[in-house]
Structure 1
């Protein structure tokens, strides 16, 4: 993974002080009068600017608690297939808002449906006025936020994870004690939902 990305560190982006949230929360955070907002993983300047200019400044009147915005893009696929990232971010006690790209939308939907810790997903085709409305409605509890697009199944995620780790279909079938045809079928569904074959997904993702 490029050195510019830091998986262990997170700083607040609310003000120029940039107080540390992770791995150790700065004492100043406890006494701050502002809500705490962070991005994870840190290191993408474009993502950070997009969140500050496109989300925080547009939706600040409706953000009633601190949030961490997750760069849920193909670069971090290998990292985001395991739920450890959710456990890590839950330790911050901030609402987890996933900002996904088109490739990882089915994976983002999987976590939203299976983990209560995910607060909201911002989809790649969401307009900024719609994002503001989604955030407002979510915080005030006005109706359920619709899930857009395909969702990976548990089997599909498990097969994808093992294939990305370097296993072949035969060993994946043996690992999960299922017929190899089920593995091939799951692989094909994953590729259809995510819009690329597994080899391309592997190439697009950063080495973790």
Structure 2
């Protein structure tokens, strides 16, 4: 799977009003002086997610509340981005709270990052359904952190293997890089596939 990470990490814009002011890499003057609720969707390629969140958040009671959030499109199509902490370091520069919007296949990886890094404020699970997501957003805007279920949480070793697989390494190369035996590596690979519900060397050929 090929992802143009240079483009992805080249911008973060607020979508709470028509001006769509830039927050990263350099905040615009209008954004610095803005008194409205700020929220962003990142990466910005998921048009339907952006429209849905604008409808639920920007055009609702949340407009008058202080603070701001980045809703992260934590879907399988973006999995290569989320196998190391670069995305977290980048988004944290915005100063906004980070909310993962996870599809069902990505729940184990979302749970891994939520438990590992307190810069992630909460996780929304699309498999919970519309009404439950609305309730979760209410809690988020009341600054209540949702309890995140484990949902087959991935381990650090599994995430390391996943990162190397998605960057084109063979199992032999991964075993050498991580200094683990072939049998253990195959067990880790099987565990990743079981948690994500996909085959590592087939489903990731986007």
Structure 1 residue aligned with 2:69 = 67
Structure 2 unaligned regions, length at least 5: none
Please report how far the alpha carbon of residue 164 of structure 1 lies from its aligned counterpart in structure 2 after TM superposition: 1.7
Partner of 2:20: 18
Gaps of 5+ in 1: none
In the alignment, which residue of structure 2 is the partner of 1:186? 188
| Alpha carbons of structure 1 residues 174 and 162: separation in structure 2 relative to 1, 3 Å | same
Q: 1:196 to 1:111 in 2, by over 3 A?
A: same
Partner of 1:77: 79
Aligned Cα RMSD in Å?
Answer: 2.3
Q: Which has the higher contact order (CA 8 A, sep 6+)?
A: 1
Is the contact between residue 36 and residue 63 of structure 2 (CA under 8 Å) also seen in structure 1? no
Partner of 1:165: 167
Matches within 5 A, 1:1-208: 1=3, 6-57=8-59, 60=62, 64-140=66-142, 142=144, 144-147=146-149, 149-204=151-206
User: How many correspondences in the alignment?
Assistant: 203
What TM-score, normalized by structure 1, do the two folds share?
0.87
Q: TM-score, normalised by structure 2?
A: 0.88
1:64–1:139 contact (8 Å) kept in structure 2: no
Hey, which bits of structure 1, 4+ residues long, moved more than 6 A? none
